[in-house]
Structure 1
């Protein structure tokens, strides 16, 4: 009987010890989970337009955020829909906002989005013609010569705010021109077809872009100021700063040179290199710059 009672008591004590050990393990596990960096488990969604200039900054920022422990995603859309996504919180960040052209979006969605950082300055944009058109050097020179171009001016996709500025310029210079919209690639292909035959052509151009290295073209002087030298900015949804503060801090410190962006576009578009590999190469070659943006 004594042996039986002793056995029962031994089992009871062991169960208490095991229970305490189990609870202590659970407590330690909960503490470890509580100490984890929940910020870095967030998914950061980038808005990506069809423009070649959007790709390099987006890929670089995505890889750096992944290195920080974040998940990243991309939503591809035209500029107008990217800003709608930003305003709704479906998109967290857009790396290719052209100001002042995109001010219309910042004003429209001011309650939900804001300009977070300047990526680079001196981004030129305007109407472009081949250099062999020696008598056409300003937008005013087009007046009365629209028939040379079959009354057509080629531009990028509808929905981009630049298309509104182009229409304003057509009206402002009183030109008998119709804006023909397509993708960036479609616009360039049409211009190349015309230039191969040395025919007159007007199309929308901007830098950074490889068109200025590939073609002998010139930007028409805009005496009425419809097209200004732009600064390109990073735009974020207002909730990102609180939801993912470390990611936001990195994006707020973001900058890159226009020359680097243009060189990366050339590697991707002209040489067919993988965008992520090109972005990783930039990161490896610019570690001091990366550390600066990370606040290290």
Structure 2
């Protein structure tokens, strides 16, 4: 009897250890799964990219149960971060002209381009509609230059549009003009102040942007095509994301919206709504489009 009891006790102990091991392995696997459900999104602090990145973050978190970290950087580090794997993705690549030669080309073999997420963008020099000039060529007129102290108010110094603006100064022989670096927010504030007083001003501008709905503005014609033609905003991801995070990859590959969509989010943020709240509002109001983005993801 004692021998039988010892055998049963030993068997019970072995079974307990096996079950404990299974539980431990299950917990480890769950921990690994939870760890893998993290995504890092790089972005630049431009109104357009703040809107798009927050919407992508909201969908990843609320629909696909990811934990998302947003990493704000300048344009150059944004590309390098995705290329070297410090970030998983970004939805802010302005191609082919704005970011192409400077940022995309040196890194294109180190990342994957999932194609455009927004079509119909435009960049250039922008002025209020009440200014009586039509082309960048008109900035050569001394009386026009004096009106704005020969200054083009720009945004962050690392932005592709700043390089294009500096190239425009050279290509159009605006020898005594200066491209003043600031920030996206500062540029808009200076523009709004001048617009309210109906004063002349020249800024770097792009579409989509809520400022075109808020003010009557116009692009200066660019006959030399320094700012290129209409562009697209692309989604770029690090190499290996498809294998590591197939669900996030598929969503990012299917993410695509319109300038009107983006401007809606930007407008809510401009009116005082937080970035997160504006993204949540848009996602909730556009269920059909969001469902297209996550179609086929189980």
What is the TM-score of this pair, normalised by structure 2?
Answer: 0.89
Q: Does the 8 Å CA contact 2:48/2:262 hold for their aligned counterparts? A: yes
Partner of residue 167, structure 2: 168
Alpha-carbon distance in structure 1 between the residues aligned to 2:71 and 2:239:
18
Partner of residue 150, structure 2: 151
Secondary structure of 1:124's counterpart equals strand
Partner of residue 280, structure 2: 280
Partner of residue 33, structure 2: 38
* Residue-by-residue CA offset, 1:43-97 (whole Å, 9 max, x unaligned): 2111121101112221121122223232210111111121121222111111121
Q: Which runs of 5+ in 1 are unaligned?
A: 1-5
Alpha-carbon distance in structure 2 between the residues aligned to 1:97 and 1:29:
43
Partner of residue 67, structure 2: 71
1:127-142 aligned within 5 A: 127-134=125-132, 136-142=133-139
Partner of residue 240, structure 1: 241
Tell me if 1:121 matches 2:122: no
Alpha-carbon distance in structure 2 between the residues aligned to 1:36 and 1:102:
39
Secondary structure of 1:91's counterpart equals coil
Q: CA RMSD in A?
A: 2.2
Q: How far off is 1:257 after superposition?
A: 1.3
Greater mean deviation of Cα atoms: 123-132 or 8-17: 8-17
Flag the structure with larger Rg: 1
Q: Which runs of 4+ in 1 moved over 4 A?
A: 31-37
Partner of residue 250, structure 2: 249
Partner of residue 180, structure 2: 180
Greater mean deviation of Cα atoms: 154-163 or 35-44: 35-44
Residues 208, 198 of structure 1: alpha-carbon distance in 2 compared, 3 angstrom cutoff: same
Work out the number of aligned pairs and report it.
289
Partner of residue 221, structure 2: 221
Q: Which runs of 5+ in 2 are unaligned?
A: none
Q: How far off is 1:166 after superposition?
A: 0.7
Alpha-carbon distance in structure 1 between the residues aligned to 2:150 and 2:115:
40
Q: How far off is 1:24 after superposition?
A: 4.5
Residues 283, 192 of structure 1: alpha-carbon distance in 2 compared, 3 angstrom cutoff: closer
Residues 188, 27 of structure 1: alpha-carbon distance in 2 compared, 3 angstrom cutoff: closer
Partner of residue 3, structure 1: none
